[in-house]
Structure 1
């Protein structure tokens, strides 16, 4: 691969990211392509595993085989790490520059005429040229002598090697003393041929490329279009031209600022320059790439026409500024379109991925605090899309999905998927529709990850890609709007290239969130909230003890009823409708009618269920949508490992995480004497229902059940007033 600069490719490959075989492959490819062991050794030094002499030792053993490791291996490794072949392309110096098929950046219009100077001052022309391009102490190469050749019946004058032994300062001084006789300074020239000058400084020892001391300028010259149009195109391209000279023939010579630090970089920059010129119709002779190239000297005559300076210091200030400018206009952006042309034939909207929330090919952010179950919510979404069922109450379009796991180890991630499937009570009928890309320990910034993701997913027909979480791949400062805009643009790239939705999650900022709008709770720049097409925000709700107690009571009643129905087909004669919603009565009834062993198992279920209730958290989901109307806040329980919609409405009056100071919250939650008395009475009733036999029980059994001393239990019984006490026993009064 002669036209591939492998050293440039290695800048994209961190040796620390390579395993042993990849490291060896790089060395084998470099040797196969004619590079030196020093190139491999220099690249390897940045790895902490580097050992002096190891590269040299391995290098000696690379003797080639029938299937050698070639440059393609390094190119592929570089591409996987973010290299794009559309950056600077290094051509072979004698190869042909082929422009990609595209619309020209400029066309020159009708052109800009060139007018000969009315006041012809040859000395001033040359002095201006020298002062613009050279320092006083730099050697200048020039040619006034020619040799003749015949071509197509015409005499053609070709330049000789010329001179390079005088500096710009010496030449300017001599020109100031020559009384207009430039031949006395440079030597007489033939007016049929004109004269030439080299635009880069030389070492005074020769006029070849290796004699160039500073790779400062390049020549842009083309006779493929009229002179007026050449002049216009060069100006419209904003070429960073130091001097623009009329050649006295069919072309203008633009001496363009390159300012390369070395020969290799000069070649790359000139290749880029010529490629852009070719796209705009300026076909440039490939020999013009040489930094020692001759150009037409202003201030002399050629076949009765003047070689003169048209302009100087025009266009952009530098090559780097010009390159940035060209890349900003040389894009693949669509052209503006007239609304009138589409008014009666509007394109179809992208179909929904999640009904009422997100369209296919769009972006969605899920934001929430730590431990909100965001990852579980995304896994639930994967399952819902794969199986074509509802997620959080919204119907999902069935399709294939990629889950990019950046946080969990592989085993934990796979187990989570199985746990979620089980908790959602779904048969895993479409497991082949879920692909998981486990990248824990392999995270790279999003601008590097995006091309790798696109390459792997390009033929998978994913309907959505989920990235969890994004803090692992954020590039730059998350509080910087411009840096986060660049970061979020990577999601656009994935959406566009793959034609799928991209869904990702991010954490809340620190502190209470109750006083903020839902779209302002995500950590970092406001770009996070304003970039996606849909934002779902999870905020924790404050749950009172009474609500938890209500949930516990409902759970106790449900479990008791289920156990009763295991053994009795008709329970209507055993418990009333009021009994079914009263935990103490249900415990009393089950104790009476269930076998002691069954009752014991039921109580174990109740204890487990009560613990699960206390471990539940409640969440409110609010949305900011670009494509759909705003939906009413959605209240959910996070009942590990899945979220369940509050279909009853018990959470509707709960408030989002309070911003009241802790001392005020504690004061407001302080229980009254009546509250405490009520709790004690309820606890003694529940305990008695659980341990009594034939309407009585021992006080020691009550004490063990509620975890209090017997003396305390006796005071609870007396306070209640509905129990009799006889020694160590107690029972309900009739």
Structure 2
């Protein structure tokens, strides 16, 4: 093991296996295996729970733990909850992948080390009937069945254990019997053993048993701690404002708080009890986890236990119900700032964050780049990384110079490194500040964003990055991208990174299916509108459709530029005297001039260079960059070319009049349709259907709805086109291609 890692075996000294449930015990084993320990280590620790330990069980389970994902952080957290504190020197070395960032403990209300205890006094007048009646009236409706136990059995060690007891009478029946008992509670409940006391179940039952399945209302939970003074227990549960229905002295070394949880069902009960116990632990109460069950027994007041009385200390204290208590706990631990008066800052405004990308994004803010496939989004983000590292321009905008972390989730390590070098070369920039760029290669190792964020923060907090670029986010996306609340949780992780590191967070996302030209820039990103509303800057790329005439013009311009350079180098006097401005716009004229001036071998090299340049022109695409900004005025659209591997702004203005698909006025679209013959329109529709089908097969089964979304038409239109095409079948909304005959 590496010397800087924690010794998890030492941490296990803080964790008692007898206080863990089965899953928590398994988690310890999984964590030990994940961190390179042995099954013997797990078994040695498990022996401490003599009641549940079975020789050889650890070794049987051990072989099933491969790739479980549970790490040593699980053991670290358990140890912390039981009093272990990390040594200060851990802060002076590089953090490991699974180390945790120390921070404020959530849900801490009281400091148990300083709180003064509250004395508990026995009732001045001992009235067992009154004690039990008060308990029943506080917790139960008259018609609800109550479970109680007065009979016991004795273990070999001489310890008294309760039997299942009784469950067939209602609270109303018991109260009536008590009122008629003339003080003889044994006549009502059965005689109990004074050395053992008696018990009662605090949730109502169905009258058929005492298991969790027999609980009819998940109304209360038991909070009990045996590890501190009674007076301190009493003080802490009160300081925590727990919504306590009854507070009972057990007759020994603990008090039993019957807490209102008012859960709708068993699943909600478990969640609320876990939350309740977590709050109690963080405030100094070490809870017995075996008390979680809703059918659990508690101590019955009004009886004696080995010479001491079991009695009610108090009823209905703390917050009146679970909802108010939960809201109170959350509110005092929300870490939110207090409201500020504008008058305090009117004449002394705080400084705005400096720009990262001038006119687009400030440092510490978030930016989303959205676009379709083939737009070169990853290359654009690499260009941005270089622009920040070198303090250069990016798509025409000046970048502030500083360190940047590029989180690569998609490319293998070698490809990512080569891309950076290729982009540097194509941009014509000298690598003067490549030490400003760090690349975190996570292909094949990525985790959901809510798990990745803290790991990223741990690695980045000492590097003073002014930007963190995450590419692409679909690799770490959690939840349904069309769900606003799930995507809000997802994008909140970017806020955490920006807040903790003080750096900008930049990420990219894909467009929804179908044509995008007719949409606003903030409506093009796939999924919930949260993607568009969350970032401080949204940069959107939409493709421009190039006409044949424009392509020929571009090819000619590329060829003529090479001819001009070659002729000037061969015979500048000839160029100056015979090559006019009009000639420089004509490929044929420039070819004639080249033949007159250049030798055959030079001419052959020039024409080969021209062919390469023309090929590059033919494979490049044109794009328009639009944006929605929160901190800056809206900028004019930026037109650019993407010629692998870089984007270059169009300085000629030839792209400004091109409209993306679907941006033409309605009358123009209709006019264009009229110019096509029925057979041409039919052919075009069939080709569009085939393209949509092939594209949708990437995601698996092709449906009518997916084709409709991709093509931007109604399902009815898609159905009609499928019938007209003749090469597809449709059944129950699923679409497939007919086999060739």
Note if contact 1:538-1:619 (Cα within 8 Å) is conserved in structure 2: yes
Which residue number corresponds to residue 713 of structure 2? none
Question: What is the DSSP-based 3-state SS (H/G/I as helix, E as strand, rest coil) of the residue aligned with 1:125?
Answer: helix
Q: Is 1:25 matched with 2:37?
A: yes
When residues 9 and 325 of structure 1 are mapped into structure 2, their CA distance, relative to the original with a 3 A threshold, is farther
Which residue number corresponds to residue 128 of structure 1? 137
Q: How does 1:609-624 map onto structure 2 within 5 Å?
A: 609-624=613-628
CA offsets 1:443-471 (integer angstroms, 9 cap, x no match): 22111111221122121221111111111
Could you state the TM-score of these two structures normalised by the residue count of structure 2? 0.65
Which residue number corresponds to residue 658 of structure 1? 662
Which residue number corresponds to residue 422 of structure 2? 419
Note if contact 1:231-1:252 (Cα within 8 Å) is conserved in structure 2: no
Note if contact 2:560-2:585 (Cα within 8 Å) is conserved in structure 1: yes
Note if contact 1:243-1:254 (Cα within 8 Å) is conserved in structure 2: yes
**Aligned Cα root-mean-square deviation (Å):** 5.2
Note if contact 2:477-2:490 (Cα within 8 Å) is conserved in structure 1: yes
Question: What is the DSSP-based 3-state SS (H/G/I as helix, E as strand, rest coil) of the residue aligned with 1:609?
Answer: helix
How many Å separate the matches in 1 of 2:499 and 2:79? 24
Give the superposition deviation at 1:394: 0.6
Which residue number corresponds to residue 61 of structure 2? 42
CA offsets 1:397-444 (integer angstroms, 9 cap, x no match): 111111111111222211111111110001111111111111111222
Question: What is the DSSP-based 3-state SS (H/G/I as helix, E as strand, rest coil) of the residue aligned with 2:278?
Answer: helix
Give the superposition deviation at 1:552: 1.6
Question: What is the DSSP-based 3-state SS (H/G/I as helix, E as strand, rest coil) of the residue aligned with 2:257?
Answer: strand
Which residue number corresponds to residue 280 of structure 2? 274
Note if contact 1:116-1:308 (Cα within 8 Å) is conserved in structure 2: no
How many Å separate the matches in 2 of 1:480 and 1:182? 62
Give the superposition deviation at 1:290: 8.4
Q: Is 1:535 matched with 2:538?
A: yes
Question: What is the DSSP-based 3-state SS (H/G/I as helix, E as strand, rest coil) of the residue aligned with 2:439?
Answer: strand
Alignment equivalent of 1:587, drawn from 591, 608, 615: 591
Which residue number corresponds to residue 478 of structure 2? 475
Which residue number corresponds to residue 644 of structure 1? 648
Give the superposition deviation at 1:497: 1.4
How many Å separate the matches in 2 of 1:526 and 1:596? 62
Could you state the TM-score of these two structures normalised by the residue count of structure 1? 0.66
Alignment equivalent of 1:91, drawn from 82, 98, 110: 82
Give the superposition deviation at 1:530: 0.5
Q: How does 1:110-149 map onto structure 2 within 5 Å?
A: 124-128=133-137, 131=140, 136-140=146-150
Alignment equivalent of 1:331, drawn from 323, 328, 334: 334
Which residue number corresponds to residue 254 of structure 1? 257
How many Å separate the matches in 2 of 1:387 and 1:329? 45
Question: What is the DSSP-based 3-state SS (H/G/I as helix, E as strand, rest coil) of the residue aligned with 1:608?
Answer: helix
Question: What is the DSSP-based 3-state SS (H/G/I as helix, E as strand, rest coil) of the residue aligned with 1:510?
Answer: coil
Q: Is 1:516 matched with 2:519?
A: yes
Which residue number corresponds to residue 461 of structure 2? 458
Alignment equivalent of 1:3, drawn from 8, 14, 18: 14
Question: What is the DSSP-based 3-state SS (H/G/I as helix, E as strand, rest coil) of the residue aligned with 2:578?
Answer: coil
Alignment equivalent of 1:384, drawn from 384, 387, 402: 387
Question: What is the DSSP-based 3-state SS (H/G/I as helix, E as strand, rest coil) of the residue aligned with 2:109?
Answer: coil
Comparing 328-337 with 485-494, which one deviates more in the overlay? 328-337
Note if contact 1:404-1:466 (Cα within 8 Å) is conserved in structure 2: yes
Q: How does 1:360-371 map onto structure 2 within 5 Å?
A: 360-371=363-374
Note if contact 1:175-1:185 (Cα within 8 Å) is conserved in structure 2: no
Which residue number corresponds to residue 445 of structure 1? 448
CA offsets 1:452-506 (integer angstroms, 9 cap, x no match): 2112212122111111111111101111111111110111111111111111111
Alignment equivalent of 1:372, drawn from 370, 375, 397: 375
Question: What is the DSSP-based 3-state SS (H/G/I as helix, E as strand, rest coil) of the residue aligned with 1:658?
Answer: coil
Comparing 611-620 with 336-345, which one deviates more in the overlay? 336-345
CA offsets 1:696-731 (integer angstroms, 9 cap, x no match): xxxxxxxxxxxxxxxxxxxxxxxxxxxxxxxxxxxx
Question: What is the DSSP-based 3-state SS (H/G/I as helix, E as strand, rest coil) of the residue aligned with 1:629?
Answer: coil
Note if contact 2:623-2:639 (Cα within 8 Å) is conserved in structure 1: yes
Count of residue pairs the alignment pairs up:
580
CA offsets 1:359-389 (integer angstroms, 9 cap, x no match): 1111100000100010110011111111110
Which residue number corresponds to residue 716 of structure 1? none
Give the superposition deviation at 1:176: 4.0
Question: What is the DSSP-based 3-state SS (H/G/I as helix, E as strand, rest coil) of the residue aligned with 2:576?
Answer: coil
Give the superposition deviation at 1:646: 0.8
Note if contact 2:81-2:282 (Cα within 8 Å) is conserved in structure 1: no
Give the superposition deviation at 1:226: 14
Which residue number corresponds to residue 497 of structure 2? 494
Question: What is the DSSP-based 3-state SS (H/G/I as helix, E as strand, rest coil) of the residue aligned with 1:657?
Answer: coil
When residues 86 and 587 of structure 1 are mapped into structure 2, their CA distance, relative to the original with a 3 A threshold, is same
Note if contact 1:637-1:643 (Cα within 8 Å) is conserved in structure 2: yes
How many Å separate the matches in 2 of 1:165 and 1:226? 29
When residues 476 and 85 of structure 1 are mapped into structure 2, their CA distance, relative to the original with a 3 A threshold, is farther
Question: What is the DSSP-based 3-state SS (H/G/I as helix, E as strand, rest coil) of the residue aligned with 2:37?
Answer: helix
Question: What is the DSSP-based 3-state SS (H/G/I as helix, E as strand, rest coil) of the residue aligned with 1:344?
Answer: coil
Give the superposition deviation at 1:310: 3.2
How many Å separate the matches in 2 of 1:502 and 1:484? 16
When residues 576 and 116 of structure 1 are mapped into structure 2, their CA distance, relative to the original with a 3 A threshold, is farther
Note if contact 2:110-2:239 (Cα within 8 Å) is conserved in structure 1: no
Give the superposition deviation at 1:121: 5.1
How many Å separate the matches in 2 of 1:174 and 1:555? 99
How many Å separate the matches in 1 of 2:514 and 2:29? 39
**Highest CA radius of gyration, 1 or 2?**
1
CA offsets 1:330-369 (integer angstroms, 9 cap, x no match): 3322232332233333221111111111111111000001
Comparing 175-184 with 395-404, which one deviates more in the overlay? 175-184
Which residue number corresponds to residue 434 of structure 2? 431
When residues 577 and 274 of structure 1 are mapped into structure 2, their CA distance, relative to the original with a 3 A threshold, is closer
Note if contact 2:145-2:169 (Cα within 8 Å) is conserved in structure 1: no
How many Å separate the matches in 2 of 1:84 and 1:541? 56
Alignment equivalent of 2:404, drawn from 401, 404, 407: 401
Give the superposition deviation at 1:163: 8.5
Give the superposition deviation at 1:138: 4.0
When residues 184 and 324 of structure 1 are mapped into structure 2, their CA distance, relative to the original with a 3 A threshold, is closer
Give the superposition deviation at 1:273: 4.3
Gaps of 5+ in 2: 1-10, 48-54, 85-103, 116-122, 153-158, 189-193, 204-213, 678-741
Q: Is 1:597 matched with 2:601?
A: yes
How many Å separate the matches in 2 of 1:181 and 1:312? 31
How many Å separate the matches in 1 of 2:137 and 2:83? 35
Which residue number corresponds to residue 712 of structure 1? none
Give the superposition deviation at 1:307: 5.1
Which residue number corresponds to residue 183 of structure 2? 182
Note if contact 2:222-2:257 (Cα within 8 Å) is conserved in structure 1: no
Note if contact 1:218-1:255 (Cα within 8 Å) is conserved in structure 2: yes
CA offsets 1:630-683 (integer angstroms, 9 cap, x no match): 10001001111111111111111010123679997687699xxxxxxxxxxxxx
